[in-house]
Amino acid sequence: MSERMLITKLVRQGDRADLYAKGHKYKDLTLFALSDLTDVGIDYADLENGVETPCRFWAYYELSDKLNQSGNPYKDVVMLEPVDKPATSTSTDTSALLGELRAIRALLEVVATNLTGSAPTVASVQLGADDENADWIPDAETRAEEQAIHDELEEMARVKANGKTDDGVPMKSKEFVAWLNKQADNPKRCDGVGHLMYVMKKQFGDGWGWPVSTDQEGWAQVLAAWYDYWQALA
């Protein structure tokens, strides 16, 4: 069964291309048939070798029987698809509605996790009643996109048996937050996924995206960035 990944950057490497998910420093997939890029409106003949090219399309892949040096299966790209592909006659495009619902859910999570006897109003969260946490949630459209990408990556990734890195760090956002708050040397309590994302964007910029739940190095970077951020403010 194939799974899909949202690709936002590619780099041509001779007769192949490295594909990157949003905010990822290291490549996620390798495309061996450059001609497949025409399916998403990209002329590979115009791509300069070794140069990053912004893009936005879905890459469908299947897990190979072959394993890499880390013992994880290779991901074989089987097809590419435009993000804005219209719905077929047997399906309905509900992406906009789904994005809005995810944005509402994210907002409710932040309200719930910052409860101090009575729930803060939406206005107080957005307008800065809490100076430190006021900009956890960006505009609704951006938040919806981030949450949709996060959910997509979570659903498509095959998690390790215990869902943790070799150092015991959870590789899912909610589990990571709970684990982080149990660490004796944690410099600051994390008040939820929104708080964690806020700090990561302060550290890595607005282009940062969630690591997939098999990306050990990515989650290790999240942990290091959290500590670095609060230690710099101390």
| Long-range Cβ contact pairs of 79-85 (< 8 A, separation 24 or more) | 79/2, 79/36, 79/39, 80/31, 80/36, 80/37, 80/39, 80/40, 81/4, 81/39, 81/40, 81/57, 82/39, 82/40, 82/41, 82/57, 82/58, 83/6, 83/56, 83/57, 83/58
Rounded CA separation 64/74 (Å): 5
Dist. CA 92–CA 197, nearest whole Å: 31
Asked whether the whole model's pTM tops 0.85, one would answer: no
pLDDT in tens, the chain (234 residues): 678 899 999 999 999 999 999 888 888 999 999 999 999 999 999 899 999 999 999 999 998 888 877 788 889 999 999 987 654 434 444 555 555 666 676 666 666 665 544 444 443 333 333 334 444 555 566 666 666 666 655 555 444 445 777 678 888 888 899 999 999 999 999 999 889 989 998 888 888 888 877 778 888 889 999 999 998 887
Q: Which domains does the chain have, with CATH numbers?
A: 3-82 (2.40.50), 95-233 (no CATH)
DSSP H or E run through 59: strand 52-67
171 DSSP β-pair partners: none
